[in-house]
């Protein structure tokens, strides 16, 4: 039996075993998904600025952990981007990222002076939903990839994302604000899940996979690229990855991660993902 490596916090680009790269194991759909993911991850500094505004005055320790979080997310983008550049030399992370940035800025990053979720607790619930999604997504990529370097990078990122979930979960429960009701928590969590339908995933997939010279003849269409991004993601997911995601979210809203709600939500999400990518 092989034992999966344990990836600790604080890894650097030099820790990745790039020399093990095997071009014969690169799978085109996975490559397309990785390029898109690299752009979303690389966009983290905007989220740091926003979260620091939400937590203004919360103390140095909180600020330091948000900065560290942002650095790790940006490194996820760099690692995935470098892997994609090696697998496909026509891809350039910085160029694709510049196009993505030009066309995509969530309104609340530019405007809000507080949390768009209504409170710090609400903000942490939304962050936990995202980290639940990313930790299961990179676990799925790790399990599906036969290319050794991508497998390693995805394993390292999945471990980071799980730690991020824990950081935000602990921050959520450390807030002096009054707790919010179960239904309100569920509403915030579902709201964040619905936002996955916005331009971030569709447009990152477009910028990462349609070269600039083809933009004029292949214009961006949100529904089309949302579907293509969904299809690419669904090639890596197995039912158990989706169930883990749901359990992490259910825990944040305060219900039993192994109870009926988790089972029902897991089944519904799995059906929805399958339908979206059909
Ligand atoms: Fe990440
Ligand atoms: Fe993360």
Q: Ligand 1 centroid vs 157 CA: distance in angstroms?
A: 6
pLDDT for res 176: 83
Q: What percent of the chain has pLDDT over 90?
A: 67
Does residue 110 register a pLDDT over 70? no
Q: Ligand 1 centroid vs 268 CA: distance in angstroms?
A: 25
For the chain, what is the mean pLDDT?
91
Let me know if residue 5 belongs to a domain.
no
What range defines the domain where residue 229 resides?
Answer: 24-276
Q: Tell me: the pLDDT tens digits for 163-210?
A: 999 999 999 988 888 888 889 999 888 888 877 767 888 999 999 999
Let me know if residue 4 belongs to a domain.
no
Give 147's DSSP letter.
Answer: S
Let me know if residue 231 belongs to a domain.
yes
Hunting for tokens 């579907």 — which residue is that?
227
Tally of residues, the chain: 278
Nearest ligand by distance to the CA of 76: 1
What contacts 49, CB < 8 A, 6 or more positions away?
Answer: 109
Burial class (CB in 10 A: 0-12, 13-18, 19+), 165: buried
Cα–Cα distance between 175 and 165 in angstroms, integer? 16
Let me know if residue 146 belongs to a domain.
yes
Spatial contact of 157 and 138, defined as CB atoms under 8 Å apart:
yes
Spatial contact of 27 and 147, defined as CB atoms under 8 Å apart:
yes
Task: Read off the tokens for 60.
Answer: 């140095």
pLDDT for res 107: 62
pLDDT for res 112: 60
pLDDT for res 84: 98
Angle at 185 between CA 126 and CA 223, to 5 degrees: 50
Does residue 1 register a pLDDT over 60? no
Average pLDDT score over residue span 129-135: 95
* Lowest mean per-residue pLDDT among 10-19, 59-68, 195-204, 260-269: 195-204
Cα–Cα distance between 131 and 47 in angstroms, integer? 13
Q: Tell me: the pLDDT tens digits for 68-95?
A: 999 999 999 999 999 999 999 999 999 9
Q: Ligand 1 centroid vs 37 CA: distance in angstroms?
A: 9
Q: Ligand 2 centroid vs 72 CA: distance in angstroms?
A: 7
Nearest ligand by distance to the CA of 77: 1
Spatial contact of 269 and 137, defined as CB atoms under 8 Å apart:
no
pLDDT for res 267: 94
pLDDT for res 111: 59
Q: Ligand 2 centroid vs 220 CA: distance in angstroms?
A: 27
Q: Ligand 1 centroid vs 228 CA: distance in angstroms?
A: 21
pLDDT band for position 113 (cuts 50, 70, 90): low
* Lowest mean per-residue pLDDT among 58-67, 78-87, 218-227, 269-278: 269-278
Q: Ligand 1 centroid vs 130 CA: distance in angstroms?
A: 9
Let me know if residue 17 belongs to a domain.
no
Burial class (CB in 10 A: 0-12, 13-18, 19+), 154: buried
Nearest ligand by distance to the CA of 161: 2
Let me know if residue 249 belongs to a domain.
yes
Q: What percent of the chain has pLDDT over 70?
A: 95
Hunting for tokens 């500094």 — which residue is that?
45
Let me know if residue 194 belongs to a domain.
yes
Average pLDDT score over residue span 118-125: 89
Q: Ligand 2 centroid vs 18 CA: distance in angstroms?
A: 22
- Number of domains forming the structure of the chain: 1
Q: Tell me: the pLDDT tens digits for 215-253?
A: 899 999 999 999 999 899 889 999 999 999 999 999 999
CATH code, domain carrying 269: 1.10.620.20
pLDDT for res 218: 94
Let me know if residue 9 belongs to a domain.
no
Q: Ligand 1 centroid vs 164 CA: distance in angstroms?
A: 9
Q: Ligand 2 centroid vs 214 CA: distance in angstroms?
A: 32
Hunting for tokens 């991660």 — which residue is that?
257
Q: Ligand 1 centroid vs 278 CA: distance in angstroms?
A: 26
Q: Ligand 2 centroid vs 219 CA: distance in angstroms?
A: 30
Does the pTM of the predicted model rise above 0.85?
Answer: yes
Angle at 128 between CA 125 and CA 133, to 5 degrees: 130
pLDDT for res 136: 96
């Amino acid at each position: 039996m092989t034992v999966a490596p344990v990836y600790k916090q604080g890894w650097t680009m030099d820790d990745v075993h790039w020399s093990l790269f095997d071009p014969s194991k690169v799978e085109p759909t996975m490559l397309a998904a990785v390029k898109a993911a690299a752009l979303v991850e690389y966009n983290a500094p905007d989220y740091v600025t926003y979260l620091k505004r939400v937590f203004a005055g919360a103390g140095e320790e909180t600020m330091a952990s948000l900065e560290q979080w942002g650095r790790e997310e940006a490194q996820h983008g760099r690692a995935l981007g470098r892997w994609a550049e090696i697998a496909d030399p026509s891809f350039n992370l910085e160029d694709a990222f510049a196009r993505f940035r030009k066309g995509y800025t969530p309104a609340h990053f530019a405007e809000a002076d507080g949390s768009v979720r209504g409170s710090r607790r609400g903000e942490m619930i939304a962050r936990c939903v995202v980290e639940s999604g990313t930790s299961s997504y990179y676990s799925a990529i790790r399990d599906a990839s036969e290319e050794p370097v991508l497998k390693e990078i995805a394993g390292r990122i999945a471990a980071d994302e799980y730690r991020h979930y824990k950081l935000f979960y602990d921050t959520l429960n450390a807030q002096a604000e009054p707790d919010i009701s179960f239904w309100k928590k569920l509403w915030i969590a579902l709201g964040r899940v619905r936002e996955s339908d916005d331009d971030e995933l569709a447009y990152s997939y477009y910028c990462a996979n349609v070269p600039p010279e083809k933009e004029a003849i292949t214009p961006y269409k949100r529904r089309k690229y949302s579907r293509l991004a969904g299809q690419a993601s669904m090639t890596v997911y197995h039912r158990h990855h989706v169930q883990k995601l749901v359990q992490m979210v259910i825990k944040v809203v305060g219900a039993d991660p192994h109870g009926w709600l988790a089972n029902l939500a897991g089944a519904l999400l799995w059906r929805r993902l399958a339908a979206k990518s059909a």
